[in-house]
């Protein structure tokens, strides 16, 4: 990082660009902060950073630190990956609720931030006294204002055909099997509606990936012959505007993820005007109050297909709710925490 000329230096460990958005980073930089991170710009962590946010994780060569190694830095633990924090059972699609010893030095001694109350409660119930009890909720940012600009520019694109989107990684913890079953059932029930499955063949690296491929092979072969079912590849992060334009094409989006501590993808869809249907569990009721929260997602999607007024109402409520998570407000909340817990500013 070189010689530090001021105290306004922040390091985000184990956070992708999609989690700490471009606008959020620019806001901090405009206020004089230097913003780095292992996954943001490939910079290595060191003790010269005055503020460090670290999301406990193991995947993709994540950094694991002991705060004692950074005595001159203010270290915040940011709870972003609940499955990493408490473990995940791929056979039962449920949390293991097991303490991860490598994370305890962080969780016990640093200020805790969480992207949702749901995740904070889950971690607290697992770690008990091993968790610093002063937890704070700091919701993640989305590029709400920029998505709205794209939506306004695409306002004339909608035709008469209703379009439904499922757009998650093809993993068991995102409900790939159940999602494909819903597309299978509803595409037969509504032949005039178009159904899109996004992130084509984004299987990920979970230990059950081969099992998931085997279990979904038959339904995928069936859907590939259906005239009103389409598969679309994922978007590179450098094509983010194209991704937002893609989202504005859809009337309805749905999720069936059995593991969801926040739901960033569904918030982006809501911001784009998509009427979102989600199960009434995990972090969905907390984060996605503007969406249609149901016990049966397939019937929820069916309801919106049949009822144009309700579809419009859910879309409008979703936009209003998504606006609360805009990147500019996130920057203000983060700076409030930095100032609250640091005497050097």
Residue matched to tokens 């002991």: 66
Q: What is the pTM of this model?
A: 0.94
pLDDT recorded at residue 236: 87
How far is residue 53's CA from residue 44's CA, in Å, rounded to a whole number? 13
Q: Can you read off the two tokens belonging to residue 26? A: 């620019």
pLDDT tens for the chain, 345 residues: list them. Answer: 444 446 899 999 999 999 999 999 999 999 999 999 999 999 999 999 999 999 999 999 999 999 999 999 999 999 999 999 999 999 999 999 999 999 999 999 999 999 999 999 999 999 999 999 888 999 999 999 999 999 988 865 567 899 999 999 999 999 999 999 999 999 999 999 999 999 999 999 999 999 999 999 999 999 999 999 999 999 988 899 999 999 999 999 999 999 999 999 999 999 999 999 999 999 999 999 999 999 999 999 999 999 999 999 999 999 999 999 999 999 999 999 998 887 555
Q: Please, are residues 314 and 275 in contact by the beta-carbon 8 Å criterion?
A: yes
Residue 61: partners with Cβ closer than 8 Å, 6 or more residues away: none
Q: How many helices (H) and strands (E) does the chain have?
A: 13, 14
How far is residue 171's CA from residue 204's CA, in Å, rounded to a whole number? 7
Residue 313: partners with Cβ closer than 8 Å, 6 or more residues away: none
How far is residue 52's CA from residue 49's CA, in Å, rounded to a whole number? 7
How far is residue 142's CA from residue 140's CA, in Å, rounded to a whole number? 7
| Helix axes of 22-30 and 327-340: crossing angle, nearest 10 degrees | 50
| Cα Rg of the chain, angstroms | 21
Query: What is the layout of strands, in order, in the sheet containing 74-79?
Result: 34-37, 9-13, 51-54, 74-79, 111-114, 135-137
277 forms beta bridges with 254, 292
Residue matched to tokens 């660009």: 17
Q: What does 252-277 look like in DSSP terms, one character per residue?
A: EEE---S--SS-HHHHHHHHTT-EEE
């Amino acid at each position: 990082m070189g010689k530090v000329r001021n105290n306004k230096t922040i390091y985000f460990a184990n956070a992708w660009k999609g989690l700490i958005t471009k606008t959020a980073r620019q806001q901090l930089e405009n206020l004089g902060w230097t913003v780095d991170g292992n996954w943001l710009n490939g910079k290595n962590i060191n003790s010269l950073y005055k503020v460090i946010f670290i999301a406990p994780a193991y995947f993709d060569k994540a950094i694991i630190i002991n705060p004692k190694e950074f005595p001159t830095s203010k270290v915040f633990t940011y709870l972003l990956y609940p499955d990493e924090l408490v473990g995940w059972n791929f056979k039962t699609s449920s949390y293991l609720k097991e303490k991860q010893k490598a994370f305890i030095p962080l969780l016990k001694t640093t200020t805790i931030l969480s992207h949702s109350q749901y995740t904070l409660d889950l971690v607290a119930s697992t770690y008990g006294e091993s968790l610093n009890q002063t937890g704070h909720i700091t919701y993640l940012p989305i590029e709400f204002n920029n998505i709205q600009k794209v939506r306004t520019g695409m306002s004339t694109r909608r035709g008469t055909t209703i379009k439904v989107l499922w757009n998650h990684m093809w993993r068991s913890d995102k409900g790939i099997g159940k999602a494909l079953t819903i597309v299978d059932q509803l595409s037969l029930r509504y032949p005039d509606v178009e159904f899109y499955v996004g992130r084509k063949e984004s299987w990920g690296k979970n230990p059950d990936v081969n099992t998931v491929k085997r279990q979904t092979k038959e339904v995928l072969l069936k859907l590939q012959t259906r005239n009103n079912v389409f598969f679309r590849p994922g978007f590179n992060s450098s094509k983010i505007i194209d991704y937002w334009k893609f989202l504005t094409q859809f009337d309805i989006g749905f999720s069936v993820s059995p593991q969801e501590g926040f739901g960033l993808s569904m918030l982006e869809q809501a911001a784009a005007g998509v009427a979102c249907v989600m199960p009434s569990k995990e972090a969905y009721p907390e984060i996605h109050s503007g969406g249609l929260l149901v016990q049966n997602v397939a019937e929820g999607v069916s309801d919106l297909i049949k009822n144009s007024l309700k579809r419009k109402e859910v879309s409008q409520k979703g936009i209003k709710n998504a606006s609360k998570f805009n990147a500019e407000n996130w920057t203000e909340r983060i700076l409030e925490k930095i100032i609250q817990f640091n005497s050097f500013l």
